[in-house]
Amino acid sequence: MELDLNCDAGESFGVYRLGLDEEVMPLISSVNVACGFHAGDPRTMRRTVRLARRHGVAVGAHPSYPDLVGFGRRPLDATPEEVEDDVVFQVGALLGFCRAEGIRLNHVKPHGALYNAAADDAAVASAIARAVRAVDPDLFLVCLSGSAMVAAAETAGIQHVEEAFADRAYAPDGGLVSRRIPGAVIHDPGPVAERVAMMVTEKRIRAIDGTLIPLLAQTVCVHGDTPGSVEIVRAIRARLSQEGVAVRAFGPREAVP
C-alpha cells in the first residue's frame, strides 16, 4: 500500500521566513509551492524547488487569489476568467523554476480561500481545472475529497487525486468540520497518526459524532509550520511504516526528482 503526504511550503517572502521547510521536506512525498500571490517570491520559489529536488519530493503549484497581505485566506469575488488566468500565471511561473532545477511539475493544489471556493463552486473549480489543463494536461489536480473540484477535473479531462486532512475532524456527511467548532482540529500526534492509518487501511474515518464514514484519499495533507506539526508528520510516518504503507508521491515515477 502507498500514500502520498503533501505539505504547503515556500511560504516565506523576501526577508520574512515562514514554515519549517527544511525540517518537513524529508518527511513528505509532495510539496505545494506558493507562487507569489499569497506568499513566495522568485528567490523563495527557487530555494523551495531546489530543496524538494534534493529530497526527492514531487513538486506542485499552490496558486492563490492575489492577496499577499491577507495570505490568500480572504474570499475574493473574482470572475472565473480572472481565476483561470491567475492560475495559468502562477503555475507557469513555478514551471519555470521546475525547468530551471531540472524536475517535473507534478500537480496543482489551490490555496486557502481559492481552495475553499473551488470545493463549493463549480464555476471556480472548472476555471482552475481549465487552467491546469492548458498549461500541462498531464498535471494532477489535488481536490478536496468528494468536492466540486473532482467533477471539474473529470469534465476537463485531467487527472486528479482526492485529498484528506490528517488533523481535521469530519462531519457525518464527509465534510470538514468548521474550524470554529471545538474539536475541529486535532493536535495530538498519536490520534492523528491513528486516523491517517485508518484512512489508508480501511478507507474510512470516524466522524466527529463517532460514526464511521467512508473516506477515499490518495493524498493526505500535513503541515510544516510549527515544531508540533512536524512532530505530527513524524508520528504519521512511523505509524504508516508499522502498517507497511509506503509514503510515495502520486503520479509517474519520473515525477520524483
Nearer to its own copies, 93 or 245 (CB): 93
Please provide residue 70's backbone torsions phi and psi, each rounded to the nearest 5 degrees.
Answer: -100, 5
* Residues 89-118, interacting with its own copies (CB under 8 A): 89-97, 99-100, 113
Nearer to its own copies, 99 or 187 (CB): 99
Nearer to its own copies, 12 or 145 (CB): 12
Beta strands at 246-247 and 2-9: parallel, antiparallel or unpaired:
parallel
Stretch that binds its own copies, among 88-96, 168-176, 181-189, 206-214 (CB under 8 A): 88-96
- The site for its own copies, by CB under 8 A, has a size of 44
Q: Which of 49, 55, 3 is nearest to 24 (CA)?
A: 55
Stretch that binds its own copies, among 71-79, 147-155, 159-167, 238-246 (CB under 8 A): 71-79
Binding-site member from 8, 21, 67, 163 for its own copies (CB under 8 A): 67
Q: In which residue are the cell numbers 474570499 written? A: 75
Q: Which of 142, 162, 157 is nearest to 218 (CA)?
A: 162
Task: Characterize 59-91 residue by residue with b for buried, 16 or more Cβ atoms within 10 angstroms of its Cβ, and e for exposed.
Answer: bbbbbbbbbeeebbeeebebebeebbebbbbbb
Binding mask 125-164 for its own copies (x = CB under 8 A): ------x--xxx----------------------------
* Residues 17-36, interacting with its own copies (CB under 8 A): 17-18, 36
> Is the CB of residue 147 less than 8 Å from the CB of residue 122?
no
Torsion angle defined by CA atoms of residues 230, 183, 62 and 75, in that order, rounded to the nearest 10 degrees: -150
> Is the CB of residue 42 less than 8 Å from the CB of residue 10?
no
Any contact of residue 175 with its own copies (CB under 8 A)? no
Nearer to its own copies, 153 or 247 (CB): 153
Span between the terminal Cα atoms of the chain, in Å: 21
By CB under 8 A, name the binding residues for its own copies.
Answer: 13-18, 36, 41-43, 45-46, 66-71, 74-78, 81-82, 85-86, 88-97, 99-100, 113, 131, 134-136
